[in-house]
């Protein structure tokens, strides 16, 4: 069992009052698949701070012991003022001693509780930090295939919600479990010490507690998942309708959307009421049970006191102090059982969350067999050769087959072809975002599998259709291409890519903060920034994958010259729909059915009157078929 901080947050403070049931119970109980293994792994994470953990466990042990000890002294103090023999013979002096002892116990306890809080906070925070870091490191090195084939929202939610859940559980649930179990055992010991017979009496109510908890949990297990599913449906609907509001409005679907929403919302409301009530019943029922237990102890206690019956007790005869202390222990005894029942759902959710986190961590990272460390990025000539390539994203659905392509050093090569003909795939393979199934790709005669991925990618500059804008200033976004670039270099790159035209109009100029979606820029402006980034990176090989598709053609003409300059002296690979972009290429290849069906320069291809000529004519003649 492991430890954790006793919620430095306040809920723990009100532990005795019992947390508002709807807060803790509202968590969905996700079922974990292999809990044992996951728990083990989770513990090993916490175990990375071995000394903190041991210190915490020791302190917790003392805190719990002192907590158990306090009622004992309290009972003694009360006994001093109620010595029974000749009734009400008050031993004030004895009481004061007891109270001083009690004060010392309380004080030490508070100090230890403080230490416990600090250590626990540190432990849980460092654990979560390490876990987040590991997860992020993992994500950084996952193959593109993983990010391509998994929902981004899902990956995000593992990083945030799941790790957060684990952190909360580590800090609260496990702590209350540990101290709960200790308290349980301790209470039992003290109770037995005072009076085995009364212990027996009060234990009978535990049966009642168990009965109520299991039955209520059964009901809750029915309604809480229902509530959770409906909530998921509702949120899905909201997400879809709100992000797609333009389409909703364009098709006048507002009323339909509202109607559907109301339907789900009503269902959710009904399920929630049931779930929450079943959760809310727990508290009052436990109150009754603890009162029954109290009553039984008081009743039997009084009876045993009167007949002076306390067999097997180490403490000696039954006294009022015994009963007082015993009653407190009875109360303390039922609390952890309550809490464990409350924590069950939270722990289940956390384990399921941990499973989802570990699931990412268990993915193999991008493989890199590149061992040729002598490969020098500076000396790359950029002679690229695809030989007899076969590739499929999904087994059985071949995208490229018997694909051959030779891009000579310094050549400007353009790839054209219909949507889905595999143009972008060529880029994915060259950069090793994906790996070929068959064939070889060489760079300057060397198999790219032998080149360390890092160096391979450093020699390639790439501008993508979907531009990525980081939550930072325009300058920083450009600087991404070369982290140590001076301001002058950044501005020069911006000028080349015509970023200066709009950037200088903004009030903060290059220091304007961009939002991650790039919402404050047009798609075209974002592409210009991406081009500036590549300009700054100054790579040996340049790939433009539909890099100018959102830039209007006039602006494109403006930057054409810059692009030409950029491409000069390096191997360039251009993918575009717009033929105007590619006409100047040294070589144009037409892709169809995963193969190169035509190759040549603009004039020769037109003269051939084949696929390229057809494409070209449709563009220029408009609807000329």
Using CB under 8 A as the binding rule, the residues of this chain from 87 to 146 that contact other proteins are 87-88, 90, 92, 95-96, 99, 102-103, 106-107, 109-111, 113-114, 117-118, 121-122, 125-126, 128-129, 132-133, 136-137, 139-142, 144
* Residues from 410 through 469 that contact other proteins (CB under 8 A): 417-420, 431, 433, 453-454, 457-458, 460-462, 464, 468
Extract long-range pairs of 451-458: CB within 8 Å, 24+ residues apart: 451/370, 451/372, 451/375, 452/368, 452/370, 452/371, 452/372, 452/373, 452/375, 453/366, 453/368, 453/370, 454/368, 454/370, 455/370, 455/375, 455/377, 456/370, 456/431, 456/432, 457/431, 457/432, 458/377, 458/539
Cβ-based nearer residue to other proteins, 122 or 401: 122
* Contact between 428 and 596 (Cβ < 8 Å): no
Sign, CA dihedral 232-233-234-236, equals positive
Give me the least distance between CB of 155 and other proteins, in Å please.
Answer: 5
Residue 522 main-chain phi, psi, to 5 deg:
-80, 160
Q: Which of 298, 361, 592, 597 binds other proteins (CB under 8 A)?
A: 298
* Dihedral, CA of residue 158, residue 163, residue 168 and residue 170, to nearest 10: 130
361 binds other proteins (CB under 8 A): no
| 61, 531, 575 from 528: Cα distances, Å | 63, 5, 16
Alpha-carbon span 472 to 111, nearest angstrom: 45
497 binds other proteins (CB under 8 A): no
* x/- map, 537-576, other proteins, by CB under 8 A: x-----------xxxxxxxxx-------------------
Cβ-based nearer residue to other proteins, 32 or 462: 462
* Residues from 583 through 602 that contact other proteins (CB under 8 A): 583
Q: Which of 28, 196, 225, 283 binds other proteins (CB under 8 A)?
A: 283
- Contacts with 264 (C-beta within 8 Å, 6 or more apart), sequence order: 230, 233, 234, 237
Cα 37 to chain centroid distance, Å, stands at 20
* Contact between 544 and 576 (Cβ < 8 Å): yes
Cβ-based nearer residue to other proteins, 20 or 410: 20
| 285, 572, 573, 575 from 547: Cα distances, Å | 66, 13, 11, 8
Cβ-based nearer residue to other proteins, 34 or 516: 516
Half-sphere exposure in the Cβ direction for 535 (13 Å, CA): 28
Give me the least distance between CB of 620 and other proteins, in Å please.
Answer: 5
Give me the least distance between CB of 567 and other proteins, in Å please.
Answer: 17
Cβ-based nearer residue to other proteins, 20 or 225: 20
Q: Which of 6, 180, 186, 382 binds other proteins (CB under 8 A)?
A: 6
DSSP H or E run through 621: helix 611-621
Cα 455 to chain centroid distance, Å, stands at 31
Q: Which stretch binds other proteins (CB under 8 A): 30-38, 148-156, 351-359, 383-391?
A: 148-156
* Residues from 161 through 220 that contact other proteins (CB under 8 A): none
Q: Which residue has 């020791």 as its token pair?
A: 58
Nearest partner of 586 among 351, 386, 407, judged by Cα:
407
Q: Which of 33, 37, 47, 160 binds other proteins (CB under 8 A)?
A: 160
273 binds other proteins (CB under 8 A): yes
Q: Which residue has 């507690």 as its token pair?
A: 209
156 binds other proteins (CB under 8 A): yes
The tokens describing 181, both together, are: 């179990």
- The runs of H, that is alpha helices, within 195-253 are 196-243, 245-250
Alpha-carbon span 7 to 138, nearest angstrom: 30
* Contact between 391 and 400 (Cβ < 8 Å): yes
512 binds other proteins (CB under 8 A): no
* Contact between 430 and 460 (Cβ < 8 Å): yes
Cβ-based nearer residue to other proteins, 39 or 99: 99
Instruction: Sheet containing 460-463: give its strands across.
Output: 460-463, 541-545, 571-575, 412-417, 587-592, 595-600
* Residues from 300 through 359 that contact other proteins (CB under 8 A): 301-303, 305-307, 320, 323-324, 327
Cβ-based nearer residue to other proteins, 373 or 625: 625
Q: Which of 523, 564, 593, 604 binds other proteins (CB under 8 A)?
A: 523
Q: Which of 385, 409, 473, 580 binds other proteins (CB under 8 A)?
A: 580
Q: Which of 65, 81, 203, 226 binds other proteins (CB under 8 A)?
A: 81
Cβ-based nearer residue to other proteins, 32 or 178: 178
Cβ-based nearer residue to other proteins, 553 or 565: 553
Give me the least distance between CB of 34 and other proteins, in Å please.
Answer: 26
Cβ-based nearer residue to other proteins, 31 or 303: 303
* Residues from 252 through 271 that contact other proteins (CB under 8 A): 252-254, 257-258, 261-262, 265-266, 268-269
DSSP structure class, residue 32: P
Q: Which of 207, 312, 314, 623 binds other proteins (CB under 8 A)?
A: 623
Cβ-based nearer residue to other proteins, 460 or 567: 460
* Contact between 178 and 1 (Cβ < 8 Å): yes
Cα 72 to chain centroid distance, Å, stands at 46
614 binds other proteins (CB under 8 A): yes
Give me the least distance between CB of 284 and other proteins, in Å please.
Answer: 3
Residue 519: Cβ-neighbour burial (10 angstroms; 0-12, 13-18, 19+): exposed
Cβ-based nearer residue to other proteins, 215 or 291: 291
* Residues from 375 through 404 that contact other proteins (CB under 8 A): none
Q: Which of 235, 371, 440, 604 binds other proteins (CB under 8 A)?
A: 235
516 binds other proteins (CB under 8 A): yes
């Amino acid at each position: 069992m492991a430890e954790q901080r006793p919620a430095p947050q306040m809920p723990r403070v009100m532990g005795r009052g019992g947390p508002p049931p709807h807060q803790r119970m509202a968590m969905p109980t996700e079922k974990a698949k292999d809990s044992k293994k996951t728990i083990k792994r989770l513990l090993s994470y916490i175990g990375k701070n071995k000394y903190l953990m041991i210190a915490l466990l020791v302190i917790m042990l003392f805190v719990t012991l002192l907590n158990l000890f306090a009622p004992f002294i309290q009972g003694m103090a009360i006994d001093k003022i109620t010595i029974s023999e000749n009734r009400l013979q008050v031993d004030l002096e004895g009481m004061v001693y007891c109270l001083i002892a009690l004060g010392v116990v309380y004080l030490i306890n508070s100090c230890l509780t403080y230490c416990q809080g600090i250590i626990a906070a540190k432990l849980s925070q460092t654990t979560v930090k390490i876990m987040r870091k590991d997860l992020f490191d993992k994500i950084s090195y996952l193959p593109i295939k993983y990010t391509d084939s998994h929902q981004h929202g899902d990956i995000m939610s593992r990083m945030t919600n799941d790790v957060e859940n684990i952190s909360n559980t580590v800090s609260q649930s496990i702590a209350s479990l540990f101290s709960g179990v200790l308290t349980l055992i301790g209470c039992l010991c003290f109770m037995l010490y005072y009076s085995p017979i009364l212990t027996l009496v009060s234990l009978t109510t535990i049966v009642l507690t168990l009965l109520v908890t299991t039955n209520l949990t059964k009901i809750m297990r029915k309604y809480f998942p229902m509530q959770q599913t409906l909530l998921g449906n509702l949120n899905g609907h909201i997400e879809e309708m709100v992000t797609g509001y333009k389409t909703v409005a364009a098709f006048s679907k507002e009323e339909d959307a509202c109607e559907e929403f109301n339907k789900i919302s009503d269902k959710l409301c009904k399920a929630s009421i049931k779930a929450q009530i079943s959760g809310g019943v727990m508290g009052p029922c436990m109150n009754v049970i603890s009162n029954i237990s109290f009553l039984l102890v008081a009743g039997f206690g009084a009876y045993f006191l009167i007949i002076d019956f306390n067999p097997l007790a180490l403490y000696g005869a039954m006294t009022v102090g015994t009963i007082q202390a015993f009653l407190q222990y009875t109360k303390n005894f039922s609390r952890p059982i309550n809490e464990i029942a409350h924590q069950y759902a939270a722990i289940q959710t956390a384990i399921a969350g941990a499973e989802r986190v570990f699931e990412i961590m268990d993915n193999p990272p991008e493989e890199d067999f590149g061992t040729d460390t002598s490969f020098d990025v500076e000396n790359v000539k950029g002679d690229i050769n695809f030989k007899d390539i076969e590739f499929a994203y999904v087994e059985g659905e071949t995208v490229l087959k018997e694909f051959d392509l030779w891009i000579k050093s310094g050549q400007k090569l353009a790839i054209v072809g219909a949507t889905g003909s595999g143009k972008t795939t060529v880029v994915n393979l060259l950069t090793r975002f994906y790996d070929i199934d068959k064939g070889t790709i060489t760079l300057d005669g060397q198999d790219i599998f032998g080149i360390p991925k890092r160096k391979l990618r450093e020699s390639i500059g790439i501008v993508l259709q979907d531009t990525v804008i980081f939550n930072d200033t325009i300058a920083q976004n450009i600087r991404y291409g070369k982290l140590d670039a001076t301001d002058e270099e950044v501005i020069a790159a911006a000028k080349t890519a015509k970023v200066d035209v709009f950037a200088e109009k903004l009030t903060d100029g290059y220091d304007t903060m961009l939002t991650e979606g790039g919402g404050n820029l047009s798609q075209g402006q974002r592409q210009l920034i991406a081009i500036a980034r590549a300009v700054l990176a100054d790579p040996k090989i340049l790939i433009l994958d539909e890099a100018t598709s959102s830039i209007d053609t006039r602006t494109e003409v403006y930057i054409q010259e810059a692009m030409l300059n950029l491409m000069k002296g390096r191997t360039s690979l251009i993918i575009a729909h717009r033929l105007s972009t590619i006409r100047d290429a040294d070589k144009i290849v037409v892709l169809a059915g995963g193969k190169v069906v035509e190759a040549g320069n603009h004039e020769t291809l037109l003269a051939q009157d084949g696929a390229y000529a057809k494409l070209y004519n449709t563009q220029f003649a408009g609807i000329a078929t």
